[in-house]
Structure 1
């Protein structure tokens, strides 16, 4: 009998065909309401789940006693209780590597757009307000030659740093748990404690994963340590920043601006002032949202699921102690 999987997300026809060649594809769950008998029936049969932003809870897992593998179509897995999966012998796989460069593109685009006030001024032009030369009140800030601070210096942080150092002659600082001597030699990067990085950098770009240690890592105290001319860019997770403190800092001119692809609550509600603030560029969490990268991420999830359920090592296991 073929093992059964459900796909909660977007795969193309070729990817679905690849999975159906090896496994029985169950209908996707219309909801995750465990009081629904149909949902519980489907979960009781499933061996693998492919998807993103799954509401994985102990109750959810309890309804899926045969579950062996979750292949998430994302690099982040902060919403998944990894320890609980490991305790139950369930393997979690993610999609690192394939979205590194695309997410770094988004980060650097936010640096450029915020510094040069591109969204604000493009809206100004569309509104028909361009009737004369641009005055000093609409000037932006240079990016080239400035100091770029990376909070987190993994794959994505290093990719952003390369764009800054090699493309824009920027001085690179990084705050990370461990030194990166090879990248220091390659880019001339210098390691700093967080407070010192915040005080020196013209652009502070966040690329850390969301953990208990990094939740609200950037709050009122940290924002006060930044230059008044500095710009904060967040391509990590929204909860890495204390959003209320950031709004206050932007309103009071504690920092110059912010480029944000992630937020505490997504989608942003109507009450959030961030989209309407002239010194903010707000994007709808599009860090990896290109045709090429999303296809590659989905394929990585497909490959992880296929390999894991046929008893081979997947490409990117998170809790690989389950394999041992």
Structure 2
């Protein structure tokens, strides 16, 4: 594309980003007009998004913004070319509708893998070793009593245990790499197919989903949130798990049926859960899960380290620029 063509481009960025990222976009697309939703913390209002749709050539969005048939019905098909999302998940985008409209999709895989895997281990350890309860014990006057060998803060260790990974993509493999230092007895994984070339060096063994549930002390959900994985963890799944098992979810909240999880945690069908993701997000403050002593909930912070978020923003910018210039995106959903 020529500089003259680039000068006519107009894009919508659905959240305020640090200036260096919009500057990078301007360097790649000269004389670019950027419309930015004027908040760094609150999602773009739906009306604003739809009203701008017909006037833009591209969109840089977050996972809080629905890019669906309604939005695509408002764009000018002669000019709208690319959606770039600052996320690895694309469940907020109607991928089929974008493809039918000839709209390219950029996303940010890879760059958040390590941060999310770090968080998975942190959440597993916090849940297994009852760290939130321990912190609360220190803060409550009189709660920190004399040392007791088997009190309520006695948790579980990873050493010698069986850890099951549901999903063995980039994040699942990164979790497996981190686990090795804790000397688990076994690492097992499940997914659409075995991956011996990737699992072998990590000493991970492929098993069927039901076997993983029955044999694992810790179950870590790393699979994508798709229609196929929606409510994969339900009453039937929890019945197969060990009564002292611990469930960790760092994928998408929709993979777990939360009412069934609450029942499983309340009844002792499973031991505990650590959730970095919920359905919906934010989780309402009156959610029954938040009243359970054996459930740790985090506000979707898997990628929340500065270096990871900056890498995500830069990749989203680079994807959008390439999409509008008709070039190969660094990370395109194909």
Same fold (TM over 0.5): yes
Q: What is the aligned counterpart of 1:131 among 145, 153, 161? A: 145
Flag structure 2 segments of 5+ consecutive residues without an equivalent: 1-6, 39-43
Please, which moves more after superposition, 59-68 or 151-160?
Answer: 59-68
Q: What is the aligned counterpart of 2:296 among 277, 281, 284? A: 281
Flag structure 1 segments of 5+ consecutive residues without an equivalent: 320-324
Match of 1:109 in 2: 122
Match of 1:236 in 2: 251
1:28 and 2:37 are equivalent in the alignment: yes
Residues in 2 aligned to 1:170 and 1:290: alpha-carbon distance in whole angstroms? 30
Displacement, 1:27?
A: 3.9
1:64 and 2:78 are equivalent in the alignment: no
For these two proteins, the number of residue pairs brought into alignment is 315
1:298-309 matches, cutoff 5 A: 298-309=313-324
Residues in 1 aligned to 2:65 and 2:120: alpha-carbon distance in whole angstroms? 25
Residues in 2 aligned to 1:146 and 1:42: alpha-carbon distance in whole angstroms? 53
Secondary structure of 1:205's match? strand
1:268 and 2:279 are equivalent in the alignment: no
Residues in 2 aligned to 1:219 and 1:43: alpha-carbon distance in whole angstroms? 38
Q: What is the aligned counterpart of 1:19 among 25, 30, 35? A: 25
Match of 2:91 in 1: 78
Please, which moves more after superposition, 225-234 or 160-169?
Answer: 160-169
> Residues 130 and 60 of structure 1: is their aligned pair in 2 closer, same or farther, counting only changes over 3 Å?
same
Q: In 1, are the aligned partners of 2:14 and 2:36 still within 8 Å (CA)?
A: no
1:217 and 2:217 are equivalent in the alignment: no
Q: In 2, are the aligned partners of 1:165 and 1:171 still within 8 Å (CA)?
A: no
Match of 1:181 in 2: 196
Residues in 1 aligned to 2:59 and 2:37: alpha-carbon distance in whole angstroms? 10
1:50 and 2:60 are equivalent in the alignment: yes
> Residues 41 and 147 of structure 1: is their aligned pair in 2 closer, same or farther, counting only changes over 3 Å?
closer
Displacement, 1:210?
A: 1.3
Displacement, 1:140?
A: 0.7
Displacement, 1:125?
A: 1.1
Match of 1:322 in 2: none
Residues in 1 aligned to 2:166 and 2:50: alpha-carbon distance in whole angstroms? 42
